Amino acid sequence: MNDAGYRKFHGKRPRYKSKTKFHIPKVLVLLGRANCVEYITNKKNGGGDGKTAIYKHTFETPCYLYMDETNKKQLYIIGTKLKVTEAGVEN
């Protein structure tokens, strides 16, 4: 997420940037249907007040959980209407 995306989601500028390794998979392995996603953040937009809170988004349309073919500790949630907005994960 770039600085503008971070500001739009969190309502503030990032304090620091970090790099992470990302494996681009050749194949995804289906683990099963994803029911919801839950995460902890301190967003201000989408109803947040800037304090750390747990956000849970239950998927209304089918989404699925995958891992890559080499099990590089990366998971993927894929759904046809899945997107991230100021309010969080929506579908």
CB distance 67 to 77 below 8 Å: no
Per-residue pLDDT tens digits of the chain, which is 91 residues long = 467 777 777 777 778 788 877 888 889 999 999 999 998 887 766 566 777 888 888 999 999 999 988 877 789 999 888 887 777 788 8
How many domains would you assign to the chain? 1
Q: What confidence score (pLDDT) does residue 45 get?
A: 62
CB distance 82 to 91 below 8 Å: yes
Q: What confidence score (pLDDT) does residue 46 get?
A: 58
Q: What confidence score (pLDDT) does residue 18 get?
A: 80
DSSP string, 28-90: EEEEEEEEEEEEEE---STT--SS-EEEEEEEEEEEEEEEETT--S-EEEEETT-EEETTEEE
| End-to-end Cα spacing for the chain | 19
Q: Give the domain extent around 13.
A: 3-90
Q: What confidence score (pLDDT) does residue 32 get?
A: 97
